[in-house]
Amino acid sequence: MSISKKNISWGIRVLISFLFLLSAVAKLYPSPYFAISTFEVKQLYPMGFSEGFAPYFSRILIGIEFALGFLILQKNFLRTIVIPATILLLAVFTTHLTYESFIHGGNTGNCGCFGSLLPMTPIEAIIKNVIAMGLLIWLLFVLPKSNEKGDNFWILTTVTFASILGLFMIAPIQPVAEIEKTVDIPENVLPEIDTLNIQPITEKPKVDTINKVSTEPSKPVEATEPQPKKSGYAQYFSNIDKGKKTFCLFVPGCDHCREAAKELTDLRKKMKGFPEISIIFMNEEADLIPDFFKFAGAEYPYKVIEVIPFWKLLGSGRDTPGVKYLWNGNEYKFYDGINANKFNVEEFHKIIEKPYNELKK
């Protein structure tokens, strides 16, 4: 092989290796269990993977990405196994992304190729994969043909199994009992009296039913609040379905969540009868919760739940920070993420001040 072909060969191999290793590492950012669990909920669950199978598939997939990133740099069975396997994996990813783009549109959202480290839309990921497959096909033509009789198959199996095993070691699958555990923290916030919604007690006029019979038709009484409804959050906060409530889903280390909490605190200080705030925290950097409340300017009743139950509670396709306005268990507003539906404190202020007859329209 000439020097120019050798340089091209190594250039392609190093580039493909970098892409695969970066993709695998990015799926472990900012912490392995958090990142992998998020990948499962946001990428695998929507594809139809079961909750039991997804944890195994995610770790095996990332392990294979690590293995191919390393194996593309060695010579054993490079033409017959490693490069074809790499092209096949990229083709599977591209097929899935093409389908998702056709069904849901490919210009928005994060495909998950590089996790949350480098967000990439499906269209961008498809372009990246097509270029990578083209380079790999070029590599097949550049590499010299060999009979591969002296190649060591054990190198391939050892690197692959070691990579997969390493994923299970750094991000062990948690048992169901631990995943569903919650941490109950006693409430240390004094309840507020909602002076805005106190209804005056009026004495009903007495009607002389013996000497006088009213001929006027009775007018229907207009409801001043919604009928009670189960929100599904009573397992976390027993009184969440009674009266007006602000229900939040935050991550302790999330800057956007902290800003939303601070804005809620500032608004709560300005108005009477502010809907009581309750928070569900994801169990990711839970040691930062005291610092979270310090930044927010107040402490609120909260509970901590594991990563996967948190994402499921937040809802498919949604992101943090999540802020809900509930009234007697009825949901009237749900902010989430940092894009079009992000928390808007001015709008929230107007919504919670609306009487029921305006809110229900």
Residue-wise pLDDT tens digits, 3-24: 688 899 999 999 999 999 999 9
State the chain's mean pLDDT as an integer: 85
Ordered domains of the chain (ranges, CATH): 3-173 (no CATH), 182-190+223-359 (3.40.30.10)
Q: Is 315 left (phi over 0), alpha (psi -120 to 50) or beta?
A: left
Q: Is the pLDDT of residue 249 over 60?
A: yes
Please report the pLDDT score of residue 200 as a whole number: 44
Confidence band (pLDDT; 50, 70, 90) for 217?
low
pLDDT at residue 58 above 60? yes
Strand 244-250 relative to strand 322-327: parallel, antiparallel, unpaired?
A: antiparallel
Task: Assess whether pLDDT exceeds 60 at residue 192.
Answer: no
CB distance 121 to 106 below 8 Å: yes
pLDDT category at 133 given cuts 50, 70, 90 is very high
CB 227 within 8 A of CB 328: yes
pLDDT at 136: 96
Alpha-carbon gap, residue 48 to 40, rounded angstroms: 11
Q: State residue 212's pLDDT score.
A: 52
Please tell me the predicted confidence (pLDDT) of residue 196: 39
The label of the residue with tokens 């006088």 reads 212
- Rounded Cα distance between 205 and 301, Å, is 44
Contact present, 308 and 295 (Cβ < 8 Å)? no
Structure tokens at 285: 């950097």
Say which range, 67-71, 182-186, 280-284, has the weakest mean pLDDT: 182-186
Q: Per residue in 250-268, is it b (16+ CB within 10 Å) or e — as a string?
A: bbbbbebbbbbbbbbbebb
The pTM of this model reads 0.76
Kindly tell me the number of DSSP H helices and DSSP E strands found in the chain: 12, 6
Per-residue burial over 113-122, b if 16 or more Cβ lie within 10 Å, else e, is bbbbeeebbb
